[in-house]
């Protein structure tokens, strides 16, 4: 083939290839804009000018880690260490299979005494097992996060925990109730599935443990499908913070437990209007001041 013809054909091939790439890119951008990113709905937490965005599965697991730490009366530093560790080990996903026999949120190994496979794949159990070992580390709350996490995990890449510290701090601050009306999720899809307030109460009690006494885990209004959870704290000033903590837990578990409305301190989160975030309840009707969190499931 003459060199000139070969060169002409090569140029045409390159031009066609370039056009194909350009069309594919245009199609991707259009789809991205039309679908809002094409990924699953996101939950967001905001504090101190920082924003953390997670999908519903990650959020649910983060809220469980926070609740277990709260139920054990652990300081926020312990929760931050646990969250950063789970972010690095699993991306806050309950991984069914990892390196060798590693499993779950923290990639714990049955062969290393962390528990059975079934136990480790239970986020509440695995978070508790992590905290059990963390609190045995002398002075863990004063150690750099990477050092504290490594003394529990024995990772091959201990410095990797550091990159998650800021996000873990934001999640801790928000989910422990320090930032009112600063956390939201898209909620469950409107697909006709219903929830059970008694199931919500059982999950609340299991995850928060002693932070929600059995006698005060909430009363159910069967007519409206609403669970009314009393907010209690040893110090009166801590009541609003604990109330937001319970409210955020409900929002984080809204997809799993089919929760469609949460209200506290005159503020409402609604799955049907989740894009609005928290908003003032009409006529101020949202729970009973700061002493009760109202959680309503889909009916």
- Where would I find the beta strands (DSSP E) of the chain? 43-47, 50-54, 183-184, 219-221, 226-230, 259-264, 267-270, 279-280, 292-297
Statement: residue 218 has pLDDT above 90? no
- Arithmetic mean of pLDDT over the chain: 86
**pLDDT tens per residue, range 260-288:** 999 999 999 999 999 889 999 886 555 45
- Average pLDDT value for residue range 80-92: 98
Lowest-pLDDT range, 142-146, 148-152, 162-166, 208-212?
208-212
Sheet containing 292-297: which strands, arranged edge to edge? 219-221, 226-230, 292-297, 259-264, 267-270, 279-280
- Average pLDDT value for residue range 63-81: 97
Helix (H) or strand (E) holding 258: none
Q: Which has more confidence, 212 or 46?
A: 46
Instruction: Look at residue 286 and give its three-state secondary structure.
Output: coil
Confidence at residue 99, expressed as pLDDT on a 0 to 100 scale: 74
Nearest to 180 by CA among 236, 229, 238, 244: 244
Statement: residue 200 has pLDDT above 50? yes
Judge residue 20's burial from the number of C-beta atoms within 10 Å of its C-beta, 0-12 exposed, 13-18 middle, 19 or more buried.
exposed
**Per-residue pLDDT band at 213 (split at 50, 70, 90):** low
What is d(CA 50, CA 234) in angstroms, rounded to the nearest whole number?
30
Q: For residues 281 and 273, is the Cβ–Cβ distance under 8 A?
A: no
Q: For residues 128 and 108, is the Cβ–Cβ distance under 8 A?
A: no
Statement: residue 70 has pLDDT above 50? yes
Cα angle vertex 46, ends 294, 43, to 5°? 65
Taken in order 237, 249, 62, 190, the sign of the CA dihedral is: negative
Instruction: Look at residue 100 and give its three-state secondary structure.
Output: coil
Q: Which has more confidence, 97 or 124?
A: 124
Judge residue 207's burial from the number of C-beta atoms within 10 Å of its C-beta, 0-12 exposed, 13-18 middle, 19 or more buried.
buried
What is d(CA 52, CA 121) in angstroms, rounded to the nearest whole number?
25
**Per-residue pLDDT band at 23 (split at 50, 70, 90):** very low
Nearest to 152 by CA among 193, 197, 118, 107: 107
Token reading at 292: 């009760």
Confidence at residue 147, expressed as pLDDT on a 0 to 100 scale: 97
**Per-residue pLDDT band at 181 (split at 50, 70, 90):** very high
Q: Which has more confidence, 12 or 145?
A: 145
Say what the alpha-carbon torsion angle 130, 134, 136, 137 is, to the nearest 10 degrees: 150
What is d(CA 262, CA 181) in angstroms, rounded to the nearest whole number?
11
């Amino acid at each position: 083939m003459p060199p000139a013809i070969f060169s002409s054909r090569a140029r045409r091939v390159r031009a066609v290839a370039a056009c194909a790439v350009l069309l594919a890119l245009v199609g991707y951008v259009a789809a991205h804009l039309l679908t809002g990113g094409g990924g699953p709905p996101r939950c967001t937490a905001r504090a101190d000018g920082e924003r953390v965005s997670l999908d519903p599965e990650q959020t649910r697991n983060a809220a469980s880690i926070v609740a277990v730490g709260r139920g054990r009366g652990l300081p926020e530093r312990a929760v931050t260490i646990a969250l950063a560790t789970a972010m690095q080990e699993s991306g806050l996903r309950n991984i069914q299979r990892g390196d060798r026999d590693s499993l779950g949120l923290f990639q714990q190994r049955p062969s290393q005494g962390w528990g059975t496979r079934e136990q480790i794949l239970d986020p509440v159990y695995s978070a508790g097992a992590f905290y059990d070992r963390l609190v045995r580390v002398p002075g863990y709350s004063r150690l750099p996060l990477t050092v504290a996490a490594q003394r529990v995990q024995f990772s091959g890449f201990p410095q990797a925990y550091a990159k998650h510290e800021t996000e873990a701090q934001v999640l801790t601050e928000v989910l422990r109730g320090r930032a009112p009306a600063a956390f939201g999720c898209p909620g469950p899809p409107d697909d006709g599935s219903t929830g059970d307030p008694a199931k919500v109460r059982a999950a609340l009690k299991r995850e928060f443990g002693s932070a929600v006494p059995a006698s005060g885990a909430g009363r159910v209004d069967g007519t409206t499908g609403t669970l009314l959870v009393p907010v209690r704290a040893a110090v009166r000033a801590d009541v609003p913070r604990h109330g937001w903590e319970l409210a955020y837990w409900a929002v984080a578990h809204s997809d799993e437990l089919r929760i469609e409305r949460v209200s506290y301190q005159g503020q409402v989160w609604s799955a049907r209007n989740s894009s609005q975030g928290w908003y003032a309840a009409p006529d101020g009707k949202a729970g009973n001041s700061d002493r009760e969190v109202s959680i309503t499931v889909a009916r």
